[in-house]
Amino acid sequence: MDRRYSAVARRLREVGLRVTAPRVAVLEVLDGHPHAGVDTVAAQVRNRIGRVSTQAVYDVLGACADAGLVRRIEPAGSAARFETRAGDDHHHLVCRSCGRITDVDCVVGVPPCLTPDDDAGYQLDEAEIVFWGRCPDCHNARTTHHDEHEEARP
């Protein structure tokens, strides 16, 4: 048994989940592919352990999210993505062009509204901030494409 498998198995046991091949494979895939969608996770799991249904992957992701091992993020207009970096208050940068997602560890400057002025009786346990823009690759490609068209004009 390799170390990564035993570390994932230990994480599953610590939260009271049975260690199964699909659970281990899903967590290993997410460790290597943060912010992956279900289709990507399912394809990678199949490469590792063979046949597994997409529904089984959804079930594993749901159980792991409920147990706090996986975080589900849902950028507007995008399918749900999953990551094993759960339990902290990190935020995300999302590219409007290609959908790339990048973790942001700390928000600096004047903090955005993290505490509502009226919680309406809710017991709050999380605030989520998503920054939208263009990743460096898309920004550079757009700038280069724009510059090429400008140069072509008489």
- Report which DSSP code applies to 21: H
Helix, coil or strand: residue 83: strand
- Report which DSSP code applies to 91: E
Per-residue pLDDT tens for 44-69? Answer: 999 999 999 999 999 999 999 999 99
Mean pLDDT of the chain: 86
Rounded (5°) CA angle 19-103-52: 30
Per-residue pLDDT tens for 80-129? Answer: 999 999 988 788 899 998 989 999 886 665 555 667 778 788 887 777 78
21-32 helix and 38-49 helix, angle to the nearest 10 degrees: 120
Rounded (5°) CA angle 80-29-78: 15
Looking up tokens 């994932």, which residue turns up? Answer: 8
The CA-based dihedral angle spanning residues 135, 141, 142, 147, taken in that order and rounded to the nearest 10 degrees: 140
Taking the whole predicted model, whether its pTM rises above 0.75 is answered as yes
- Report which DSSP code applies to 78: S
